A and B are shown apart, each in its own frame.
Chain A
Amino acid sequence: MLTKRIIPCLDIKNGRTVKGVNFVDLRDAGDPVELAKQYADVGADELVFLDISATLEARATTLDMVLHVAEQVNIPFTVGGGISSIEDVDALLKCGADKVSINSSAVKRPELVNELSDKFGSQCVVVAIDAKEVDGQWKVHLAGGSIPTEIDLFEWAKEVEKRGAGEILFTSMNHDGTKNGFANKALARLSKELNIPIIASGGAGNVQHFIDTFKEGKSDAALAASVFHFGEIPIPDLKKELKENNIEVRL
């Protein structure tokens, strides 16, 4: 049976991990390659690198990082952040990224989803959606969640599926950073209305939250950052508990 995936997310700036990372065994916690290897060793199913660099120069550094990750890490990984053209994606895939994730650039120019899936295949096109629930309506937000739009989450998700997205990475801004659990109701609705995998993001605080998002949220994968980076939830323990709760995971 296809297993549920556990995905640590690393924020990258100038080729280095930025969010605080507290891994005892790491010589250099800012080195994304070393961190990625460590995650692969402890049983992460996939990795997401989110490039938050602001300059073109820094993006070149990211390509270099992607190359080193691909060289040394034997599990799949996605790269997101600032991707807006076929050329951007081509460069990342040539360096060994398995998938790319696009967000604001897809909202600004939805044809980008078609172009990327036609050229590289749906399997490598992840559309990331940041959304916030206001008065019972889920509205898509841009630029890391700072700019609200009138676009409805579910309509947008269905549109990008039609345009060729291979996967949706949904971050609930109501839940992100709260450590109070994932947006399971919205996730379950996405899973019901779409026929591509859904990655849950935002709100992971404890093991029960992961159990809930797989059971109630019908998520195909769960992404988190700080609970993994600070060792609050060791991945082997998490997977063991998921298994004990009859959730299929790779052990």
Chain B
Amino acid sequence: MSKKAEQSNNSSPSGKLDGASVVIINYGAGNIKSIQFAFKRLGVDAVLSNNPEEILTADKVIFPGVGEASTAMNMLQESGLDKLIPNLKQPVLGICLGMQLLCESTEEGNTKGIGIFKTKVKRFNSGVKVPQMGWNVIKDLKSDLFSGIKENEYMYLVHSYYAEHCDETIAKTDYGINYASALQHNNFYGVQFHPEKSSLAGAKILKNFLKL
């Protein structure tokens, strides 16, 4: 199924561009500018779009998200993007709330997610300050997304909810408990941290994503 989609992607108008075309899904969830600038620093013009055609034909798709889960999910539903996202065949990277919305559900606003990752998102509840805000390490790295990234590399995180471990965990972080700071299911990738704000190591991860 994914091979077929790749072929159709190759013949799409995005093939006209030099290098990979990157679309950042713009559905009203903030912090999009920072992601766009991070790609710009890598020499890539990422396009902000909520146009289904543009999203479907991009080589790479970024699914961002900052804010409250149920509000963000509502915005996705209003634009129909919640139905479009599961059908994407190219590499998709969910960042922060974007990753959480790709899970089955989140305790935040008691929200049903898109359900790509077979795990649930829960609120930190183990005597730690909430939100977790700042730099923490990622470890047990298991994906090409982390090629060239050393174990225990620091990433910038800001979040009150975390994804529980599942078979799709590709990075782990400790904050009161040990949780999934990155997930992968086929062409779908999700990172809880903000690569766009995580200095050179974060930039390296975005670069790796472009090569997937």
Contact = CB atoms under 8 A, between A and B. Distances in A.
A195 B199 contact: no
Contact of A121 (B34, B38, B66, B174): B66
A196 B130 contact: yes
B42 to A, nearest CB: 11
Interface stretch (A88-96, A105-113, A204-212): A88-96
Given A74-B202, A96-B34, A5 B131 contact: no
B133 A220 contact: yes
A1 B172 CA distance: 11
B34 A123 contact: no
Contact of B131 (A40, A71, A196): A196
Interface of A is mostly: loop
Contacts of B134: 2-5, 45-46, 197, 220-221
Contacts of B38: 74
Contact of B136 (A1, A93, A98): A1
Given A70-B37, A96-B33, A197 B202 contact: no
B199 A75 contact: yes
Interface string B6-41: 000000000000000000000000110110011011
A74 B41 contact: yes
Interface in B167-210: 174-175, 194, 196-200, 202-203
A5 B174 CA distance: 17
Nearest to A93: B30
Nearest to B153: A250
Contacts of B174: 1
Given A123-B66, A250-B154, A3 B33 contact: no
A122 B132 CA distance: 11
A166 B38 CA distance: 24
B37 A2 contact: no
A2 B136 contact: yes
Interface size class of A (residues with CB under 8 A): 20 to 34
Nearest to B130: A195
Nearest to A194: B129
Given A3-B154, A197-B133, A220-B129, A120 B199 contact: no
B135 A5 contact: yes
Contact of B34 (A1, A3, A46, A70): A70
Among B135, B156, B202, B203, chain A packs the most CB atoms within 10 A around the CB of B135
A100 B122 CA distance: 26
Interface size class of B (residues with CB under 8 A): 35 or more
A130 interface: no
A46 B30 CA distance: 19
A2 B132 contact: yes
Among B34, B175, B203, chain A packs the most CB atoms within 10 A around the CB of B34
B79 interface: no
A45 B154 CA distance: 11
Interface string A202-227: 00000000000000000011000000
A74 B130 contact: no
Contact of A197 (B41, B67, B129, B159): B129
A94 B33 contact: yes
A71 B42 CA distance: 11
Interface in B135-173: 135-137, 154, 156-160
Given A166-B158, A250-B154, 17 more contacts: A1-B174, A2-B175, A5-B134, A5-B135, A45-B134, A45-B135, A70-B33, A72-B41, A74-B200, A75-B156, A76-B197, A93-B33, A122-B131, A123-B133, A124-B30, A220-B133, A221-B134
Interface of A: 1-5, 40, 45-46, 70-72, 74-76, 93-96, 98, 118, 120-124, 166-167, 195-197, 220-221, 250
14 contacts: A3-B154, A4-B134, A5-B135, A74-B199, A75-B198, A98-B197, A118-B68, A123-B158, A123-B160, A166-B131, A195-B129, A197-B133, A220-B129, A250-B135
